[in-house]
Amino acid sequence: MHTLAFLDAVRDPAGTFLHLLVSALAHFVDGARSEIERALTRYLFTTVDTSSAGQRAFTGNPSLRRMNLGMAVAMDILLGAVVLFTCLRSMFERSFRARYTLKVALPRVLLALVLVHFSLPLMQMGIDLNNALSNAALTLGADLRVDGLPWSAAMGPEAVQRLGVSQDLFHAVFAVATVVAVVILILAYVIRYALLGVLVVMAPVAGLCTVLPETRNYARSWLRLFMVTVFMQFVQLTVLRVASVMSIDNGGGLVQTLYGLATLFLLLKVPGALNTASHLETKAKTMGHHLERAVIKAVHPTHRRVSRSTA
């Protein structure tokens, strides 16, 4: 048998190389399927604390809670410095706004205290809302399982067996590309999970930044990043649900493989689209401020001329 295989390789080296290459690619796709399904089950459908065996709330992680508490204590100390700075500015700054600095800052200080010490339940409320919306997206039609996603057929046992029999290198390359795209999606969710942990720890800092106008933009940036990081899951699951309903070919053929790749492309574009949409309000507000200043500059000289002529 080995002699016959050697003779075949000598007669048709290109065909033998193609056979070995497609077999290796099919084996790669088949071996990656179980790990991919396990990771998707862990991260894709809900946002919970994966360090525990049960479905514990994300902010219920003891390590995150301790770090958040330590950061809150540090912000309490800095809050005294912020109040002192506000008092000194109201005393020494010679401007119209400085007369009302302390009066405006005190309610914001009280709000900052609430945000600093109740950041964990407030963040968990946002995460719970995302989980509820994600569950609604998953239950809009038939149950969406990890083995019934638009790209699952391209990595299924039947598709892998078909690749090994037909020696279709073109299809095998796209199947490997699908595996790589799914791995990138999993990597994005691992990064999301780690980023949410950082945002939980830094939440008291964002709460303190709401007091002073010089630091309020940092609080807005934190809130924008938190909203995009949390609710990207709901948007992606909605896209996934629509893609599953409109599935073209469940047999794992080339068209279904390309459809799975297109779905993964849309899923990976969701965070960037949400980030762009979250900046539209800021850009509109900045344009409004510039327009207001331009109108004031245009009207102010005219107002002064009218006042002088009247006098």
The whole-number average pLDDT for the span 182-205 is 94
The whole-number average pLDDT for the span 283-298 is 61
Q: Is residue 150 in some structural domain?
A: yes
Q: Is residue 283 in some structural domain?
A: no
Least confidently predicted of 53-62, 92-101, 174-183, 222-231: 92-101
Number of domains in the chain: 1
Higher pLDDT, 212 or 22: 212
Higher pLDDT, 221 or 4: 221
Least confidently predicted of 37-41, 122-126, 225-229: 37-41
Q: Is residue 308 in some structural domain?
A: no
The whole-number average pLDDT for the span 216-236 is 93
Q: What pLDDT does 91 receive?
A: 73
Res 229 pLDDT > 50: yes
pLDDT digits (tens, 9 = 90+) for 235-269: 999 998 888 887 666 666 778 888 888 899 999 99
> pTM score > 0.85 for this model?
no
Highest averaged pLDDT of the listed ranges 94-98, 209-213, 279-283? 209-213
Higher pLDDT, 54 or 305: 54
Higher pLDDT, 213 or 115: 115
Q: What pLDDT does 7 receive?
A: 44
Q: Is residue 172 in some structural domain?
A: yes
The whole-number average pLDDT for the span 181-207 is 94
User: Mean pLDDT of all residues in the chain?
Assistant: 80
Q: Is residue 159 in some structural domain?
A: yes
The whole-number average pLDDT for the span 155-162 is 75
Q: Is residue 125 in some structural domain?
A: yes
Q: What pLDDT does 39 receive?
A: 87
Q: Is residue 175 in some structural domain?
A: yes
pLDDT digits (tens, 9 = 90+) for 24-78: 767 777 777 788 888 888 888 899 998 877 788 999 999 999 999 999 999 999 9
Q: What pLDDT does 308 receive?
A: 53
Least confidently predicted of 141-155, 156-170, 177-191: 156-170
Residues 254/167, Cβ–Cβ less than 8 Å: no
Q: What pLDDT does 276 receive?
A: 84
Q: What is the DSSP string of the chain?
A: -HHHHHHHHHH-HHHHHHHHHHHHHHHHHHHHHHHHHHHHHHHTS----TTSSS---GGG-HHHHHHHHHHHHHHHHHHHHHHHHHHHHHHH--STGGGGHHHHHHHHHHHHHHHHHSHHHHHHHHHHHHHHHHHHHHTSSS---GGGSTTHHHHSHHHHHHHHHH--HHHHHHHHHHHHHHHHHHHHHHHHHHHHHHHHHHHHHHHHTTSSTTTHHHHHHHHHHHHHHHHHHHHHHHHHHHHHHT---TT--HHHHHHHHHHHHHHHHHHHHHHHHHHHHHHHHHHHHHHHHHHHHHHHHHHHHHHHHH-
Q: Which domain holds residue 198?
A: 2-278
In the chain, what percentage of residues exceed pLDDT 90? 31
Q: What pLDDT does 170 receive?
A: 76
For residues 15 and 84, what is the distance between their CA atoms, to the nearest angstrom?
80
The whole-number average pLDDT for the span 268-277 is 87
Q: Is residue 94 in some structural domain?
A: yes
